Amino acid sequence: MNLWQNYKKVLHNTFELHNGVDSVWAEWEGKKNHKLTAKTYTNKYFIKAREVEIWNENTCIYNNILYPKTGSNLPCFGMDLMGFNENRVIIVFDFQHPTENFMFSHPNLPVATEDYRFFEKGNHFSENIFVRKCKMDEVDQYVGEFAQYLDAYRKMVEAIQPDGEDTSVYADFDTYMTRLDPVGGYLKGIFGEERAEELVKSFLFCYNK
């Protein structure tokens, strides 16, 4: 299943992302024929983009966070595209600022009018957070908004051209996400506790304190 192919196409058309010989962190098989790949990508303005895909014949999940190079107070950009079954899909993408209790807002993008569990505006999530629930045959309805957000992010990054490598900037963000993100419990049920913990702490949010 390749539910998110058009979103991935937009991402790679917006940013030139490269992966080298050591880019594959994991390739796993789990319960109910689930498969997982975890990879990293690089770019001249990003320390990394770290990507996880989980899928079987009924499920397709795509998660990626772009960590910009440091020194310019830029947010990350995160996407959590979750297709659990034909009728249960959650689409989330947002600017995720590494500083705790920092309210980031982009003036040319819509402001979210609702509050969302696990996505706390003003605490590593922005006022512009985009969240939608839909069915699998409806996911491409939101590709345009995804492209709009990514293009706004590209313009921010290219205007500043960050070049720092201080990953300690992301310690608070990754620690917060390790504590808050429900992915650990989901992964545990499919791939086991040891692998789930390893993925969360050593790959997804490896800058955690």
| Alpha carbon distance 29, 192 (integer Å) | 11
Please, are residues 157 and 67 in contact by the beta-carbon 8 Å criterion?
A: no
Contacts of 50 (CB under 8 A, 6+ apart): 38, 39, 40, 41, 64, 65, 67, 203, 204
Structure tokens at 208: 């955690």
- 26 strand-pairing partners: 38
Of the listed 140, 163, 174, 181, which one is catalytic? 181
* 140 counts as catalytic: no
- 91 strand-pairing partners: 81, 132
Contacts of 202 (CB under 8 A, 6+ apart): none
Of the listed 80, 94, 172, 174, which one is catalytic? 80
Sign, CA dihedral 99-102-107-109, equals positive
* 137 counts as catalytic: no
Place of tokens 């992966």: 19
Contacts of 117 (CB under 8 A, 6+ apart): none
Q: Which residues are catalytic?
A: 80, 181
